[in-house]
């Protein structure tokens, strides 16, 4: 093979994860002709299809080099050839332009690029010691960042884990959701030792997102397996239920003030309420068939806020009145809202279907939107897939394409 991706600083284990990640994709469309075509094919399709590149907003050569520099390390001459080629065949376009909404509020972004390139960094979460944990899904790793010093440490995970998320128990210990090998894993931050807890049912394949409840139990979703699980670290017991709507693809999960877990359906128009004690499930059907929901959060008053990813809307469900309300997201029906968190009564989410991927602020009191492009060291690219707040009310976010973690301070003084 003339071009070998491992020559370009893509570690073998990462390639395994990338190739794994692209299994099941449709036949690969061709790279446009040009000098650099063979290089692009060899280097870029190691991790994802050309479609990922063709769908982008396009860049000039300088920005292309910055962008793929977050994914792969190339020798200078090849980097120049590739950037020139990409700028020629995929120049800047506005086919997916975001509709940014101006407004009176300010946000401050702090950002960090994580060490292993192209790892699909995601799901940052704050530990009690102020450090920020994340996972590199395709890099098969977990990492921790000290935001005070910028120091980072990455921990390799057992082969085949491909963690979808990390969440912390009350003591601040990180737990990983092994999306490809059907496990939960506890990581010892000192030694890097991993304790593995496999799913007790072979049909429960893909732990996805999880949160610990006040009783110390981990409630988690399994998207493709259409299941919700409950893990008790005190006993090691894992209980699983199958959701009553086939292919509902349970995705985001959050707790309400009454202790119930709420689960988003990425596969259809529904939400579920799960009782963590009995695992009793109550399905709430959303009004429109095109609706599906990546993530949700529950406000202090019990209101469930969700992204209607399918219809490009922000939604609200009041369990007391059983009423829905939805608002069109600023970038419209194809905006694909994705991650969401409610902080101090303000709803924050992003529009992953457009570029840049905007961070959107919605004030339920005034029903007004404001949005900002999410930066990554000089480029705008990628998707925010999950966000949580730290104890100071700052948003912890990421861009899965550019290897960046970010912290957002709302209304900095």
Least distance between ligand HEC and beta carbon 66 (Å): 11
Cα gap 56→93, rounded to integer Å: 9
Closest to ligand HEC by CB, 55 vs 325, is: 55
Least distance between ligand HEC and beta carbon 44 (Å): 3
Interface residue list for ligand HEC (CB under 6 A): 10, 14, 18, 43-44, 46-48, 52-53, 56, 68, 71-72, 82, 86, 117-118, 120, 138, 355, 381-383, 400-401
Closest to ligand HEC by CB, 12 vs 234, is: 12
Cα gap 355→382, rounded to integer Å: 8
Cα gap 171→186, rounded to integer Å: 12
Using alpha carbons, select from 405, 371, 365, 367 the residue that is nearest to residue 385.
405
Closest to ligand HEC by CB, 329 vs 352, is: 352
Least distance between ligand HEC and beta carbon 222 (Å): 20
Other beta carbons less than 10 A from residue 216's beta carbon:
12
Closest to ligand HEC by CB, 48 vs 294, is: 48
Q: Is the peptide bond before 144 cis (omega within 30 degrees of 0)?
A: no
Cα gap 208→167, rounded to integer Å: 11
Least distance between ligand HEC and beta carbon 336 (Å): 11
Residue 69 CB partners (closer than 8 Å, separation 6+): 79
Closest to ligand HEC by CB, 138 vs 231, is: 138
Least distance between ligand HEC and beta carbon 153 (Å): 20
Least distance between ligand HEC and beta carbon 360 (Å): 17
Residue with tokens 């959303």: 286
Closest to ligand HEC by CB, 140 vs 181, is: 140
Residue nearest to ligand HEC (CB): 118
Give the side-chain half-sphere CA count within 13 A for 103.
21
Residue 191 CB partners (closer than 8 Å, separation 6+): none
């Amino acid at each position: 093979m003339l071009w070998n991706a491992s020559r370009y600083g893509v570690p073998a284990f990462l390639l395994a994860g990338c190739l794994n990640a692209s299994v099941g994709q449709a036949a690969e469309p061709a790279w446009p002709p040009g000098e650099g075509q063979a290089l692009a094919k060899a280097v870029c399709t190691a991790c994802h299809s050309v479609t990922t590149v063709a769908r982008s907003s396009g860049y000039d050569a300088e920005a292309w080099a910055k962008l793929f520099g977050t994914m792969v390390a190339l020798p200078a001459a090849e980097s120049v050839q590739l950037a020139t080629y990409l700028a020629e065949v995929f120049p800047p376009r506005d086919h997916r332009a975001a509709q940014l909404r101006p407004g009176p509020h300010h946000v401050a972004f702090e950002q960090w690029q994580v060490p292993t390139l192209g790892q699909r960094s995601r799901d940052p979460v704050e530990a009690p010691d102020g450090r920020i944990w994340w996972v590199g899904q395709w890099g098969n790793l977990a990492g921790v960042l000290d935001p005070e010093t910028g120091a980072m440490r990455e921990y390799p995970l057992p082969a085949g884990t491909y963690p979808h998320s990390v969440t912390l128990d009350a003591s601040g210990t990180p737990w990983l959701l092994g999306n490809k090998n059907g496990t939960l894993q506890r990581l010892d931050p000192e030694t890097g030792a991993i304790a593995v807890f496999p799913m007790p049912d072979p049909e429960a394949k893909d732990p996805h997102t999880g949160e610990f409840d006040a009783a110390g139990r981990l409630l988690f979703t399994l998207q493709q397996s259409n299941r919700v699980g409950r893990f008790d670290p005190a006993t090691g017991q894992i209980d699983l239920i199958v959701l009553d709507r086939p292919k509902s693809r349970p995705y985001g999960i959050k707790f309400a003030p009454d202790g119930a877990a709420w689960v988003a359906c990425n596969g259809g128009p529904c939400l579920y309420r799960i009782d963590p004690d009995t695992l009793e499930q109550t399905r709430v059907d959303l009004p429109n068939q095109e609706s599906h929901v990546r993530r949700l959060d529950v406000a202090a008053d019990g209101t469930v806020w969700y992204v209607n990813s399918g219809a490009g809307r922000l939604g609200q469900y009041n369990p007391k009145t059983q009423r829905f309300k939805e608002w069109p997201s600023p970038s419209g029906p194809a905006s694909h809202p994705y991650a969401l968190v409610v902080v101090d009564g303000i709803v924050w989410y992003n529009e992953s279907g457009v570029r840049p991927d905007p961070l959107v602020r919605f004030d339920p009191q005034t029903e007004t939107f404001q949005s900002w492009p999410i930066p990554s060291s000089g480029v705008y690219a990628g998707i925010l897939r999950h966000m949580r707040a730290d104890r100071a009310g700052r948003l912890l976010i990421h861009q899965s394409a550019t290897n960046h973690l970010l912290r957002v301070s709302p209304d900095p003084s």
